[in-house]
Amino acid sequence: MTDVISGPDTGASSEGSESVDTRPPGDIDRPMEWAPAEPAPKKRRLGLWVGLGGGALLLATIGASLVLIAPGTTVAGVAVGGMTPGMAADAINNRIATTDVTLTDVDQEAQVSGAALGANVDAALLAEQAFAERPMWNLGAWMGDSVAAAITLDADTATSALRAAVPTSFTAATDAEVVFDADAAKYIATPAASGTGISVDDLTVAFTEAVNKGETTLEFSGAPTSVEPPITDEKATAGVEQLNTMLGTIGFYVGDERTVPVAPNVAASWLSVEAVDGELQIIADSTQIQRTVDTLAESVNREAVPAKNIVDSGGSVLRTETEGATGRELADTTGMATEFAAALEKGDAAYPLTVTETPFETTDVTRSLTVDISDQRTYLIENGKVVKSWLVSTGLPGTPTDLGHFRVRAHVPIQDMRGTNADGSKYVTKDVPWVLYFNGDEAFHGTWWHSNFGNRMSHGCVNMTFDAAKQVYDASPLGLEVWVRE
């Protein structure tokens, strides 16, 4: 008996072998059948794999719809549907850069590209806005209206490219200028002159329209057109007015007082006027300003000056003979020149100074005049003391000077004096100087027709030498008390 079981496809032979009944008990009557040996069947997962592929495709489609712009979206003439914002921005920038402009109406046509013209658009912003407003997942946003872009051309870059392409179309314009006229001590304007060129503004409009229509080329006239300079006569005139107004106020101030005015020629050495981005701009030189700042203390610092008032016997102020002035000392000037330069560039020509002030004192002087008929002398009295006196000639017995207490009522520098003699006849005295009226037609005055001072000579007036009359005239404010005594 062998331990090898033979049968079809077992690899064992049945020749010379005994037949062995391997049927289990109870199966004795069921005939034995051999089946070919087969490998165990593999599990079938086809349905599963098909399901996974469809799901992945679905997920990919959903994912794409979350990062792509909706189909049918056009921005700046570029179809950006199905693109990411980054791809769309690149496509827009490329379209702007490669759009060609053919310049016509010239001897030989020339072409310039958007890149050469400095064409620019915020493509990244446009693309992000397109995605935000029209994402692919939003079916309602599909096939929307075209989105126009605002395109700019860099003025300097475009002008340079156009000039290189068509040099015959360009002649230089002349800016108006603002200059200082030293003889007139003020600013004046020199006139502008037009030039020729190709309008970058007009080309920008045409370029923008073409791109937004989806066109990649356009024609534009390269024939010369009049070109105004950036600095026009109007701008220069406005600059002149501003600067000349500044010249009228420029200086260093203590309060409202322009303590240190700045002469026009000095101010002009501080200031220049330059064209910046098509506008006139004031440029101030702090180094030049510092030269004046270094001398400020000499002009600003001072001792306090007492005030002196002339008052009457009742204390009423008749005149301020000396104006009081506060003492002052200039504070630290570090940084002042730089600060003033910045202010001047903004059009502010008044620089406020910081000072330490010392108040002044006020003195009242009680002043009066006394005419002594007996002495034929006039006395100037201050605070009860005689400070000056002069020989005079008062009225004759027939036309005496009135006694009493009077006040100065009028000042007349020179006049013809008329009156009546004791006998009733009339007289006229020409060119009487320094007339100081105090009682009707009685007055102190200068006398040229006699020199007999110290004796009665007049028709009631107080005759004095010219010099004495001028001193009394100047020392006597309106309302000054005059005493006439014997």
For 235-285, the pLDDT digits (tens) are 999 999 999 999 999 999 999 999 999 999 999 999 999 999 999 999 999
pLDDT interval class at 203 (50, 70, 90): very high
**CATH (domain of 453):** 2.40.440.10
**376 and 408 part of one domain:** yes
Average pLDDT rounded to a whole number, residues 290-299: 97
222 lies in a domain? no
Predicted local distance difference test score (pLDDT) of residue 8: 39
CA distances from 103 to 45, 123, 344, 411 (A): 69, 26, 46, 87
Residue 450 catalytic? no
pLDDT interval class at 419 (50, 70, 90): confident
The dihedral through the CA atoms of 441, 442, 447, 450 has a sign that is: positive
**328 and 425 part of one domain:** no
Predicted local distance difference test score (pLDDT) of residue 341: 98
Residue 445 catalytic? yes
User: Does residue 10 carry a pLDDT above 90?
Assistant: no
**324 and 393 part of one domain:** no
At 358, which amino acid appears? Answer: T
Average pLDDT rounded to a whole number, residues 174-202: 96
User: Does residue 20 carry a pLDDT above 70?
Assistant: no
Last residue of a domain, one of 301, 329, 358: 358
Catalytic residue among 405, 411, 445, 450: 445
**400 and 474 part of one domain:** yes
Torsion angle defined by CA atoms of residues 396, 401, 402 and 405, in that order, rounded to the nearest 10 degrees: -150
Percent of the chain with pLDDT over 70: 87
29 lies in a domain? no
Domain of residue 424 covers 364-485
β-strand 385-391 against 100-104: which pairing, if any?
unpaired
User: Does residue 30 carry a pLDDT above 80?
Assistant: no
Catalytic residue among 405, 411, 450, 461: 461
- H runs (alpha helix) in 213-285: 233-249, 264-270
151, 211 Cβ separation under 8 angstroms: yes
| 371-394 pLDDT, tens digit each | 999 999 999 999 999 999 999 999
Last residue of a domain, one of 358, 389, 409: 358
**272 and 371 part of one domain:** no
244 lies in a domain? no
119 lies in a domain? no
**354 and 387 part of one domain:** no
**CATH (domain of 304):** 3.10.20
| 397-411 pLDDT, tens digit each | 999 999 999 999 999
Return mean pLDDT, the chain: 89
Predicted local distance difference test score (pLDDT) of residue 353: 98
255 lies in a domain? yes
**331 and 402 part of one domain:** no
Task: Kindly state the helix (H) or strand (E) to which residue 40 belongs, with its residue range.
Answer: none
The structure tokens 């007036």 sit at: 461
Q: Which of 447-479 are b and which e, b meaning 16 or more Cβ less than 10 Å from the residue's Cβ?
A: beeeeebeebbbbbbbbbbeebbebbbebbbee
2, 15 Cβ separation under 8 angstroms: no
| 50-97 pLDDT, tens digit each | 444 555 444 444 555 678 999 999 999 999 999 999 999 999 999 999
E strand spans, 52-137: 74-75, 78-79, 100-104, 110-113, 119-120
Last residue of a domain, one of 334, 358, 382: 358
Predicted local distance difference test score (pLDDT) of residue 39: 52
Alpha carbon 319 to its chain centroid, in Å, reads 47
380 lies in a domain? yes
| 143-182 pLDDT, tens digit each | 888 889 999 999 999 999 999 999 999 999 999 999 999 9
**405 and 302 part of one domain:** no
**Separation CA 330–CA 351 (nearest Å):** 13
**Separation CA 270–CA 283 (nearest Å):** 8
pTM comes to 0.55
**441 and 456 part of one domain:** yes
Q: How many residues can be counted in the chain?
A: 486
CA distances from 202 to 165, 220, 221 (A): 17, 9, 10
β-strand 100-104 against 217-221: which pairing, if any?
parallel
Phi first, then psi, for residue 269 (nearest 5°) are: -75, -20
Predicted local distance difference test score (pLDDT) of residue 367: 98
| 333-351 pLDDT, tens digit each | 999 999 999 999 999 999 9
**302 and 345 part of one domain:** yes
Q: Which residue has the higher pLDDT, 116 or 138?
A: 116
Torsion angle defined by CA atoms of residues 134, 138, 140 and 141, in that order, rounded to the nearest 10 degrees: 10
**343 and 305 part of one domain:** yes
430 lies in a domain? yes
Predicted local distance difference test score (pLDDT) of residue 65: 62
Number of folded domains in the chain?
A: 2
**300 and 388 part of one domain:** no
Q: Which residue has the higher pLDDT, 363 or 27?
A: 363
298 lies in a domain? yes
Question: Lowest-confidence range among 45-49, 114-118, 224-228, 426-430?
Answer: 45-49
Percent of the chain with pLDDT over 90: 80
At 102, which amino acid appears? Answer: T
